[in-house]
Amino acid sequence: MSESQRLARELLDSITETVDQLQRLTDAHLDHDCSHGCAMDGGVRRLLVHNAEHDRMHAGAVSGARYHGGVMQESELAKLLRDWLRERVELVGQLLTAPDEVLELSGDGDEWSLREHVEHVLYWERDSIDTAMREASGEEAAPAAGQPGS
């Protein structure tokens, strides 16, 4: 694993840990005082706004440094991974604070519950990526396990 990949993994692991911690809060906690300097004399809400802006600022700095360093040309794979990760984060964000009851809901005219949509995404991600990795490495394809739709 390269150092860049290690840092990307560390960022992913860190956000997972932070989300787990923040899910213990309620909206009422957002108005609590926070002594951390990044809260800028505001409360927990101000700290979280700062943290989002902080990430955005540093992502811009990384992008700018790559540009000035002549390293802007990303591989097609890097672009696809970034796009997929952005969409996955949107899906995760839709579920983070939802009560469990929402998992049994379905949209207007949708025959699947939200739980079935998520289980479908999880199943087909593993199935498709396992197949792609196996075939890219020259291994024989394994028969697909049954899961409706694709």
What is the tens place of the pLDDT at every residue in 93-128?
999 888 999 999 999 999 999 999 999 999 999 999
Q: What residue spans define the domains of the chain?
A: 1-73, 75-150
What is the tens place of the pLDDT at every residue in 27-38?
999 999 999 999
CB atoms within 10 A of CB 13: 10
Residue 18 has pLDDT above 80, yes or no: yes
What is the tens place of the pLDDT at every residue in 69-101?
998 878 899 899 999 999 999 999 999 888 999
Q: 58-91: buried (b, 16+ CB within 10 Å) or exposed (e) per residue? A: eeeeeeeeeeeeeeeeeeeeeeeeeeeeeeeeee
pTM equals: 0.78
At position 12, the amino acid (one-letter code) is L
pLDDT interval class at 142 (50, 70, 90): low
